[in-house]
Chains A and B, each alone.
Chain A
Amino acid sequence: MKLTLGPVLFYWSRSHLLQFYADMIEQPLQTIYLGETVCSKRRALSLDDWLGLARELRQQREVEVVLSGLALVEAASELSALKRLCDNGELMVEANDMGAVQLLAERQQPFVAGPALNLYNAHSLRELQQCGMQRWVPPVECSGRLLQDCLQQLDDLQVPRPEVELFAYGHMPLAYSARCFTARAENRPKDDCQFCCQNFAEGLLMESQEGEPLFTLNGIQTMSAKVCDLLPDYPALQAGGVDRLRLSPRAEDMALVIARYAAVCGGAQPPASSEGCNGYWYGQPGMINVQEVSS
């Protein structure tokens, strides 16, 4: 299976991002997604900067670069920015909103359907394939069974399967809101957020009153507090029709994570249990670790 680096979901500074990608281009990754998917106020890098970075990365090594679009597109300015992204003329785009699907279909540009799109059956997948979808990143709550059923249903409909990229590692994006929860936690209005999410390289932990880690606040996005890790399930993913594994950037130790996944892709024995949670893959609550629960 191929390894993919998802877009950075947190707000990192320009220097942090550039250093991160300088490190990442050394890693055994086949695809790198660039761009801002969470909040349009985060502008450490402009579209031109992202395109420039993409060219640099591709000069250094043969790697596919995809530009990811915003998930929650509300303001007219956000829609204009999305149009510019879809008009970039160089790179494939990951659509995370139906607005992006519409823009890309109008331009007859092939695209990746990101995890924020609600595609749960072959009839819907066929609809998006008609719009130009090449690759499908299923919603994070999609189970292995549901994925299998979708692929079988595509076969039954005699529709070619898209390439499947599964969210395999990282804090899972779970919800999007108009409200900025990081600004709220800092007692700031969203309109005067002072970019406070830049203070939290891996989001802000939200725990229950009993100290159980529950969610990660990341601006307008709510993520899992636990880190999804499907490495022990590698054989099932491979057998289940997954072509690519998406590793979602974290602030520390990504090189180590990639090395673990690359080793298993290269034939090493997968670990016996997940270092994070993997419930969704088994059709269980996303927060549980199935091997832990059953042992």
Chain B
Amino acid sequence: MKLVCPAGSLPALKAAVNEGADAIYVGFRDDTNARHFNGLNLDDRQLDEALQLIRQRGRQLYIAVNTYAQPQGWERWQRAVDRAADLGVDALIAADPGVLAYATQQHPDLNLHLSVQGSATNAQALAFYQQRYNIRRAVLPRVLSLAQVRQVAQSSSVPLEVFAFGSLCIMAEGRCHLSSYVTGESPNLCGVCSPAKAVRWQQEEDGLSSRLGGVLIDRYRRDEPAGYPTLCKGRFVVDGQRYHALEEPTSLNTLDLLPELQRIGVCAVKIEGRQRSPAYVQQVTRVWRQALDNLHAGRDGSEQAGTWQQALARLSEGSQTTLGAYHRSWQ
């Protein structure tokens, strides 16, 4: 299994390379990628430097052009695809059928991966993208149980990449409009979920409150750690009960599932977090490199597992991790 790591900046990319990522995925500095935040992503000069480093070290560079193109600015998505092809990247990660069609027609040799935003959760959906656009890999949304991942792998000839670690997106990616409902900006169209400009923090009498687009997402007591106000991770009231109605602030961590993912035939594990710091990317990549090397060498790794888990817990939202949908009981 290959280790695919995120980079929202050149230092993060260097950290991932140094710590042993097999592939690093990045985005251009505009709304063609689904992590379109201020100050994030690589400009042309940085991309050239990144590619040079990656070639020297024998690694791979993937470019995500994985938002959904709109008619106004369609040329931006075309240019992004052309630029990725010109750079000679190892894969273009895309979701939009129109973008995939353009890439297939203009650059038949460009290696295409279906983005998690493509929301393909079954063999027939994968067949659609494989037959029409010759995708060589697909990233599965974080909504399938392990048994379902196995089933999809058995019934599809598309190699699969699954999320291994990072923020837990509990909705089928590409099928979530919660952010645009409240802020007007969506992951599909703008490449942002719960945009920072819509966030307000307010110190109130009874503690700290976080708001998104004016909506109260959570209220924290003085001793409570506060998380970023994402709509699916707030505390709300249902039937008179106040609780994390959708999900607790927690991170996905599939370290314990690695042997099973290997048996299933998953070809790559993906670390989430292009919005994270170089230090974060460095630490996560280091742990996962060790764990994968261990697995590939046929060692059981139980001695180091505790250390790895502790390191990952420190990097997790609310210091908590979960197996998410992979584990049926979560659902």
Binding site for B on A (CB under 8 A): 71-76, 78-79, 82, 97-103, 105, 116, 118-128, 139-141, 146, 149-150, 152-153, 172, 174-181, 184-185, 189-191, 204-212, 214-215, 217, 222, 224, 279-280, 283-287
Contacts and interface: CB of A to CB of B under 8 A. Distances in A.
A118 B95 contact: yes
A190 B330 CA distance: 8
B176 A175 contact: yes
Contact of A120 (B70, B151, B235, B330): B70
* Residue of B121, B143, B239 ringed by the most chain A CB atoms within 10 A: B121
Contacts of A153: 71, 74
Dominant SS among interface residues on chain B = mixed
Contacts of A287: 181-182
A74 B142 CA distance: 11
Greatest chain A CB density within 10 A among B144, B176, B184, B241 is at B184
Given A72-B121, A207-B237, A208-B236, A181 B175 contact: no
A177 B182 contact: no
B101 interface: yes
Given A152-B71, A212-B215, A174 B178 contact: yes
B174 A118 contact: yes
Interface string B143-184: 111001001000100000000000000111011111011111
Contacts of A224: 181
Interface string B104-129: 00000000000001111111110111
B134 interface: no
A76 B151 contact: yes
15 contacts: A100-B124, A101-B125, A123-B99, A124-B68, A141-B181, A175-B175, A179-B325, A185-B239, A189-B329, A190-B328, A204-B238, A208-B234, A211-B237, A222-B246, A286-B182
A211 B127 CA distance: 45
Contact of B120 (A98, A124, A128, A214): A98
A208 B101 contact: no
A294 to B, nearest CB: 15
Contacts of B170: 177-179
B: contact size bracket: 35 or more
A103 to B, nearest CB: 6
A78 B265 CA distance: 23
Contacts of B328: 190-191
A286 B216 contact: no
B172 A176 contact: yes
A284 B185 CA distance: 8
B96 interface: yes
Contacts of B178: 174-175, 215, 222
Give the interface centre of B122, B127, B189, B237 by most chain A CB atoms within 10 Å: B122
A185 B238 CA distance: 7
B296 interface: no
A193 to B, nearest CB: 10
A291 to B, nearest CB: 17
Given A123-B101, A185-B245, A204-B239, A177 B70 contact: no
Contact of B331 (A172, A180, A209): A180
Given A121-B70, A174-B176, A102 B124 contact: yes
B188 A121 contact: no
Contact of A123 (B74, B151, B188): B74
Contacts of A124: 68-69, 96-98, 101
Given A176-B175, A177-B171, A209-B242, A214 B236 contact: yes
Which secondary structure characterizes the binding site on chain A? Answer: mixed
Nearest to B67: A120
Nearest to B95: A118
B172 A286 contact: no
Nearest to A122: B71
Contacts of B172: 72, 175-178
Contacts of B128: 98-99, 101-102, 105
Given A102-B124, A150-B71, A75 B177 contact: no
Contacts of B189: 120, 141
A127 B101 contact: yes
B281 to A, nearest CB: 27
B228 interface: no
Nearest to B328: A191
Given A118-B95, A127-B132, A140 B242 contact: no
A205 to B, nearest CB: 7
Nearest to A179: B331
A91 to B, nearest CB: 20
A251 to B, nearest CB: 17
B32 to A, nearest CB: 13
A-B CB proximity, top 7 nearest: A123-B98, A99-B124, A149-B71, A178-B143, A124-B98, A102-B128, A98-B125
B308 interface: no
Given A73-B124, A178-B170, A181-B246, 19 more contacts: A97-B121, A98-B119, A98-B125, A100-B124, A102-B131, A118-B174, A121-B68, A121-B74, A122-B98, A123-B74, A153-B71, A177-B170, A178-B330, A207-B238, A209-B218, A217-B238, A217-B245, A222-B246, A279-B184
Nearest to B72: A149
Contacts of A208: 215-217, 234, 236-237
B219 interface: yes
A74 B241 CA distance: 31
A149 B245 contact: no
A118 B172 CA distance: 12
A264 to B, nearest CB: 25
Nearest to B129: A98
B213 interface: yes
B9 interface: no
